[in-house]
Structure 1
Amino acid sequence: MATLKQKISLVIVIFSAIICITVPFIMGISSVKIFHRKNSSIFKSMNDSLRVKYEITFSSDKQVFPLFPTLLNSIYSNLGLGEYANVHIIAMPDVTPSDYSMLSKLNDELGFSEKLTLIFYPFTYKIKYKQTLKHVSEATMCRLLLPEMIDKRIDKILYVDTDAIVNHSLR
């Protein structure tokens, strides 16, 4: 038979455990992994009000397409809590659907798809461009047509060169 002192101690331990479990929910700390539930209505409403969505674009031909994982990693690594990005990729004709698929799969496998949404735009325009400088390709020039190619509802978009690295927050 437990003594009164033991019963009081047990009640205190149980009460402390309840407080430890409920405080993160009350305080709104959704970043604590043990409490994080992506589809929970508490976190959904909290995240929607704090959500910051960036629109980022870059263009690529087959030659620089392999640089994308590094660029995506640098963007993902510098997104804070509640920050997300739509990544609009302008792909020249030499970039194939299997390249899109490979990059999307890598985005998922590395966990980037939690914050990065990849949107591919096959470049189908015919432009008259004579490449006078070796490093300035047709893919580089297609940024001039971004207003024609990207969703018209987007009022701001950040163009990033494919060989760039994001070192700080986009804020």
Structure 2
Amino acid sequence: MKLHSNSAEKANINYNINRQLSDVRDDDVSAEIDICLTFDRNFIPHAAVTLLSATRAIGKRCQLNVHVICSSDIGDEEHHAFETLSPHAKITWYEVDTSRFERLPDNREHISLATYIRLLIPETLCPVVQKVIYLDCDTILTDRLYDLWSTNLDGAPIAAAPDEGGQTHAKRLKLIDSSFYFNAGVLVFDLEAIDSNWFAEEVARVVARDDVDLHLQDQDILNLLFEAKAHKLDLRWNANTRLYTPNDLRPAYTPIEAEAAMLFPGILHFTDRRKPWTENCNHPLRDLYWELRNQTLWRETLSQQLLRNVKDLLRNRFSKSRRLVNMNY
């Protein structure tokens, strides 16, 4: 997507995000909102960023219930450190054995088997809540969470936004025409509409299929499970990295939808393997991650921050991928 000016558009998007969040602070809507995060020990700092962003995306009269489904390698000290991020949120921990995923596809270097934990949401949370928003731990909320929470699913068991390579992946999985391939990084589950036993059986059935390549792991599994059953969310609730960087994949959304989501993101999702915490990240809004992380116990030291800034300046000047972003963004 060609934009007028890198610096001007970036400033415009940051202004939009700040305006959206300032409106949240004055929000007097009263609601109880349930969200779910899933991660292992390696992802705690990034989960902390997502949680902190969620706390600033709810009004003063909203209650945030955080359901953390995690691996068994997270200790009590880390539990406590995580909980101090949001003293007003109610955090409930559910520990699971990730060894049950060892036979599932493990084909992407930057994705661990912990990605499959989200497949345990129905069996873990169906007895506890009726509805829950799942958030990947590489997401940042940039608008009022209640607006997503109050989305009408029109009877669908799940809601999700179209994926950045949606047409490509729908063809790969041979999805029917009435379906769309969605990104699984932001999901709204209507748990009353999902039988947890059926869900577990269907996961096993999909994994056993030999006519599809589950290249995108649990995301592919969820798309096959909910083929033609998912409610389509506005793309701004899962504003992926490829909205801001060059992309050769065929998305499942229009250029008009892409531009609206890019300018007014409700949730930023760093979908590329180049995450904000990696040196080669070329996302123009990567600093939003560090602004939040440096408010947590996993903050950078001053020397680490200075070193990152210097490296960032050098990459802006000499990195081919950064130059491509500047040309297209």
Q: TM-score, normalised by structure 2?
A: 0.33
- SS of aligned partner of 1:165: strand
Structure 2 equivalent of residue 34 of structure 1: none
| Structure-2 change in CA distance of 1:96 and 1:130 (3 Å) | farther
Rg larger for: 1
The residue type paired with residue 94 of structure 2 is: Y
Deviation, 1:154, is 1.1
Structure 2 equivalent of residue 149 of structure 1: 124
Q: 1:117 aligned to 2:96?
A: no
* CA–CA distance in structure 2, aligned partners of residues 135 and 95 of structure 1: 20
In structure 1, list runs of 5 or more residues that go unmatched.
1-30, 32-46
The equivalences for 1:28-47 within 5 A come to none
Q: How many residue pairs were aligned?
A: 118
Q: TM-score, normalised by structure 1?
A: 0.62
RMSD of aligned Cα (Å): 2.1
Deviation, 1:76, is 0.8
The residue type paired with residue 87 of structure 2 is: S
| Structure-2 change in CA distance of 1:138 and 1:117 (3 Å) | same
In structure 2, list runs of 5 or more residues that go unmatched.
1-24, 148-329
The equivalences for 1:1-171 within 5 A come to 51-104=30-83, 106-107=84-85, 112-114=86-88, 116-124=89-97, 126-127=100-101, 128-170=103-145, 171=147
* CA–CA distance in structure 1, aligned partners of residues 128 and 90 of structure 2: 17
- SS of aligned partner of 2:81: helix
| Structure-2 change in CA distance of 1:101 and 1:118 (3 Å) | same
Deviation, 1:151, is 5.0
The residue type paired with residue 124 of structure 1 is: D
Deviation, 1:102, is 2.0
- SS of aligned partner of 2:114: helix
The residue type paired with residue 75 of structure 1 is: A
- Asked if the contact 2:37–2:47 (Cα under 8 Å) also holds between the matched residues in 1, the reply is no
Structure number with higher relative contact order (C-alpha < 8 Å, ≥ 6 residues apart): 1
* CA–CA distance in structure 2, aligned partners of residues 138 and 119 of structure 1: 22
* CA–CA distance in structure 2, aligned partners of residues 65 and 167 of structure 1: 20
